[in-house]
Chain A
Amino acid sequence: MSRDYEAEITRFFDGLVSISQLTRRLTTKEEQKQMEGKKAIFAIKGVNKTFAFEVRGTEIIRLESISGVDTVCWARDPQQFLEYCDRVFQDGDTTAFERALQRGDLILRGKHTIHDRVLWRKAFERLATAREAYTR
């Protein structure tokens, strides 16, 4: 997969922060050291929360502890994950996230996963609106 999802999401959704911004903002120095060599973290600023998942090449890496991030989303199958990204970010399918969770392709870990899942859906709705504006 050569697509630059980070750039694409940035164009669609102004809440996105880059890996360097995210690491500076959300992690301690120790955690930043742990995250060295990791290619990208996509974070979508939700209604009140930031959600993060990390992509290293086509691999999705589960994030265990990033300060300030309550809920981490990870995928069993990176390829499926990228297809899911296509559906959300290209087709504007806001239910793709929920479907992937129901199938168990995506897994949420954290303290308030259901709360954050509900808010994340709202974020996707905003994403879809932003995408619509972008493609017009």
Chain B
Amino acid sequence: MPTASLLAGLPRRKEQMRTLICSAIKGGVGKTTVTAGLGRALARRGYKVAYLDCDFFAPNLNVELGANGELTGTGSGQIIPVVTPEGFELVSMGSVYVPDQAVTLSEEAAIPQITELLRPGEIRWNSPDFLLIDTAPTSGAVIQASLNAPDLLGTIIITHPSRMARADLLRSLSLMRDKRIPIFGVVVNQAYWECLCGHREATFDLTPEDIEEACRPWGVEVVGVIPHSRDLAGHFDALAERVLVATPVVVPEEPKPSRLGRRLMDLVSKALERRGI
């Protein structure tokens, strides 16, 4: 079920942000790097970008964006974002936490805080065009709280081309299907590395094509292939171009068996049980 792209069909109200979540159930696939890189590429296209780090347990977007400042607040209860050296607004718990202390609070304790950050008016954003949200690597309640962001347009899912990451990618796709979140596409990160002679070597045990094949039954496309490299600006520019015009897909719910179907399944199941199968 396709929905409108980021640019098409979106008459902007004043102060309305286009919110996009960068997600993955698997950790370490580069959600934060891709979130930051995509934002920079959107900024190069003239858009005003802000970031919200909803990874409450290991927030690193402030590190990736080189933000050293601390969050502050207004007298009227609003959080004032940190402004990064590149001029992006950022709200990350990484700007609040003591760096050498692990975050071991429960998911239950984190959820109200995520909900708080997503509540309209809680953060004094300076009218960004895009709000990019980085999420925690989980399918648990923490990411589900992030998916309740108001005016959320959808998600991009980040993965490695590896068997393990592919397994988690399928879980991510099903999570977005179950939560009815539009998917703008999948980004295959650290797909390969290229040596000076131009030779490309696969970084993991699968290829981007394998990931494309895994996405096909879901009707979702690979919108970006990012190599393992220090110079990624051009690749993120290409990703931004694709994401801006991509038609997001709401994966149709799995058909549920009818009452008759369920009865038949029960009968078959019982018959198999009787035969010890």
Contacts and interface: CB of A to CB of B under 8 A. Distances in A.
Interface of A: 47-48, 70, 95, 98-99, 101-104, 107, 109, 111-119, 121
B56 to A, nearest CB: 10
A102 B117 CA distance: 17
B11 interface: no
The dominant DSSP class at the B interface is: loop
Contact of A115 (B77, B97, B98, B105): B77
B269 to A, nearest CB: 44
A24 to B, nearest CB: 23
Contacts of A101: 105
Contact of A104 (B79, B96, B106): B106
The dominant DSSP class at the A interface is: helix
Given A112-B77, A113-B113, A118-B73, A95 B98 contact: yes
Find the residue from A95, A102, A113, A116 having the highest chain B CB count within 10 A. A102
A111 B70 CA distance: 20
Interface string B93-110: 100111001111110010
B104 A118 contact: no
B79 A98 contact: no
A115 B96 contact: no
Given A114-B116, A118-B70, A118-B72, A70 B106 contact: no
A102 B98 contact: yes
A103 B97 CA distance: 11
A86 B85 CA distance: 38
B101 A111 contact: no
Interface in B61-115: 70-75, 77-79, 93, 96-98, 101-106, 109, 112-113
Interface in B174-217: none
B122 interface: yes
A57 to B, nearest CB: 25
Nearest to A95: B98
Interface in B204-260: none
